[in-house]
Chain A
Amino acid sequence: QQQVKQSPQSLIVQKGGISIINCAYENTAFDYFPWYQQFPGKGPALLIAIRPDVSEKKEGRFTISFNKSAKQFSLHIMDSQPGDSATYFCAASPTGTYKYIFGTGTRLKVLA
């Protein structure tokens, strides 16, 4: 059963726009929330990650917003570029385990 729900499935954004991808989780014992970026034919690569004691983390154009009470976290891509076109996965790691539970992915297309 999927414990991390990701939306939307696909997203089309104009160049320079803001891309927003959302994830919700059920297990309150998660303690690490990474976002992975995957280009066609490649393996996923870590983009940015956050712990639940922080409400926001920013790295360049990428920001994670985290709402612990709502059990939701989101990825914001500012000034989206065609090179950002990829599939994005959120994930969550249960405390004290070696397991990552991934969302179902969002295919982002940024139009030039």
Chain B
Amino acid sequence: NAGVTQTPKFQVLKTGQSMTLQCAQDMNHEYMSWYRQDPGMGLRLIHYSVGAGITDQGEVPNGYNVSRSTTEDFPLRLLSAAPSQTSVYFCASSYDPGQSYEQYFGPGTRLTVT
């Protein structure tokens, strides 16, 4: 198994541009989530999904959209990039965190918005 994969690894955007961060998992996990990691802030939940077709907002959802059309994929869309969205983005998946199962994280995407 490849686990959780994320593309791209690095990205530079100009303010106002849009882009999609890709996340895929091959573990048949129902739960997937997106976090952003900023210095001194830890990881903050952006959006999450408990299964195909079901998504919900996390702690910092503004400026981001998600959809979950398949169990495997959970892309994160930045609608109009802002410098405040410069961060490292991590995707994670889990069997069922309601049962306190482990969350598996991808390697991250480092995004810079100029």
* B107 close to A43 (CB less than 8 A): yes
* A43 close to B105 (CB less than 8 A): yes
What 1/0 mask marks residues of chain B from 34 to 64 whose CB sits below 8 Å from any chain A CB?
A: 0100001111110010100000101100000
* B40 close to A104 (CB less than 8 A): yes
Q: How large is the interface on B (under 10, 10 to 19, 20 to 34, 35 or more residues)?
A: 20 to 34
User: How far does the alpha carbon of A99 sit from the alpha carbon of B103 in the complex, in Å?
Assistant: 11
Tell me which of B42, B97, B98 contacts A89 (CB under 8 A). B42
What is the total of A-B residue contacts with beta carbons within 8 Å?
Answer: 63
User: How far does the alpha carbon of A41 sit from the alpha carbon of B45 in the complex, in Å?
Assistant: 19
User: How far does the alpha carbon of A102 sit from the alpha carbon of B35 in the complex, in Å?
Assistant: 10
Nearest chain A residue, comparing its CB with the CB of B99: A32
Q: Which stretch (A13-21, A45-53, A60-68, A78-86) binds chain B?
A: A45-53
* A43 close to B97 (CB less than 8 A): no
Main secondary structure of the interface of A (DSSP, over half): loop
Interfacial chain A residues near B35, Cβ < 8 Å: 102
| Residue count of chain A within 8 Å CB distance of chain B | 27
Nearest chain A residue, comparing its CB with the CB of B31: A98
**Is the CB of B100 closer than 8 A to any CB of chain A?**
yes
* A44 close to B100 (CB less than 8 A): no
> B: which residues have CB within 8 A of A?
4, 31, 33, 35, 40-45, 48, 50, 56, 58-59, 90, 92, 97-98, 100, 102-103, 105-108
Extra contacts, 14 of them, besides A9-B40, A43-B108 (Cβ < 8 A), are A42-B108, A44-B43, A46-B102, A49-B100, A49-B102, A89-B42, A98-B33, A98-B48, A98-B50, A98-B56, A99-B45, A99-B59, A100-B33, A104-B40
